[in-house]
Amino acid sequence: MAKAAWVTGGASGIGAAVSRRLASQGYRVLVTDVDESGGSAVASEIGGIFKRCDVTSPADSLDAVAAATEAFGGLDLAFLNAGVATGFALEEGFTPEAYRRVMSINLDGVVYGVHAALPALKARGGGNIVATASLAGLTAVPFDPIYGANKAAVVGLVRALGPVYANDNIRVNALCPSFAETAIIANVRDSLIGAGVPLLEVSDVVAAFDSILAGEGTGEAWYVQVGRPAEPFAFRNVPGPRTPAGDKAPSADASVQTSLGEA
């Protein structure tokens, strides 16, 4: 039986490129997007199916998984890729409505996608969830703090979920590219080039996606940077708690100890 994948934001850019790659590897692909024309074109090109999905709607994500399950008999992979640029700070240009829109797409869309995909992946005996975050989720982003915040939240979510679902044979990882040649950077592309920032080719991001699937890790954030091989970012654990006497504080639960920090 062919494996089945669900790709959000699949009408263009990284989502479209990954959809093509998955189809070339034998996956049956459900392409979803709010761009019905672009999404339908990609799905038709790769022999997949298209469904409109607004990732800010929990019901849309549930409907997408149901459509994949009905069409393909199950789900093996969810690539939660839909995202938008922010383009404003906390002073000029800020509105609660604009803030909620970007947070809803870039963060809530991943949360709702994970929630929708998990039962189908468990029913399949395991699988993969890959969420598109960003290099902005691994470092400070003074020029776009809201984007940095929602992408850092995606990284934190993935790192937390990885160990939770490892026993279900479900791997949860994040793809964290630098600036890539996609429509999402259209408004800042000239500024980036003028500042000497090298841009990733989409093919480099797809190669990193392939590496995630080929690996065995979970709860990882794979950075993709120009001129470097993609690999999991090495997070340093926070310092662990100590007793008043300065000794290591005991913890009965290994997962709690991990959250509290290392010795």
pLDDT tens readout for residues 104-117 = 999 999 999 999 99
Most confident of 67-76, 85-94, 198-207: 67-76
Whole-number Å distance between alpha carbons of 50 and 27: 14
Confidence bin at 191 (pLDDT 50/70/90): low
**Is the pLDDT confidence value at 187 over 80?**
no
Confidence bin at 179 (pLDDT 50/70/90): confident
Q: Quick one: which of 11, 17, 8 has its CA closest to 206?
A: 17
Copy the structure tokens of residue 18. Answer: 């990954």
What average pLDDT score do residues 188-202 get? Answer: 72
Which is more confident, 252 or 216?
216
In 3-state terms, what secondary structure has residue 4?
Answer: strand
Place of tokens 């429509």: 183
200, 224 contact by CB (below 8 A): yes
Q: Quick one: which of 112, 149, 146, 144 has its CA closest to 131?
A: 112
Copy the structure tokens of residue 4. Answer: 């089945």
Question: Which positions are catalytic?
Answer: 147
The H or E element spanning position 131 is strand 127-132
In 3-state terms, what secondary structure has residue 147?
Answer: helix
What average pLDDT score do residues 235-257 get? Answer: 75
Residue 65 has a pLDDT of 98
**Is the pLDDT confidence value at 18 over 60?**
yes
Q: Quick one: which of 172, 173, 179, 192 has its CA closest to 136?
A: 179
Q: How far apart are the first and last CA of the chain?
A: 47
Mean pLDDT for the chain overall: 91
**Is the pLDDT confidence value at 43 over 80?**
yes
Residue 38 has a pLDDT of 97
Whole-number Å distance between alpha carbons of 4 and 166: 20
* Domains by residue range for the chain, with CATH: 4-232 (3.40.50.720), 239-263 (no CATH)
Place of tokens 């809803």: 104
What average pLDDT score do residues 207-213 get? Answer: 98
DSSP-assigned letter for residue 235: P
What average pLDDT score do residues 148-162 get? Answer: 97
C-alpha dist (Å) from residue 53 to 156, 189, 191, 245: 24, 27, 32, 56
Kindly give the residue spans of alpha helices, DSSP state H, lying in 47-144: 58-72, 96-103, 109-123
Whole-number Å distance between alpha carbons of 261 and 213: 28
Which is more confident, 143 or 66?
66
Residue 248 has a pLDDT of 80
Q: What angle do CA 235, 236, 237 make, to 5 degrees?
A: 110
Residue 172 has a pLDDT of 98
Which is more confident, 144 or 25?
25
235, 226 contact by CB (below 8 A): no
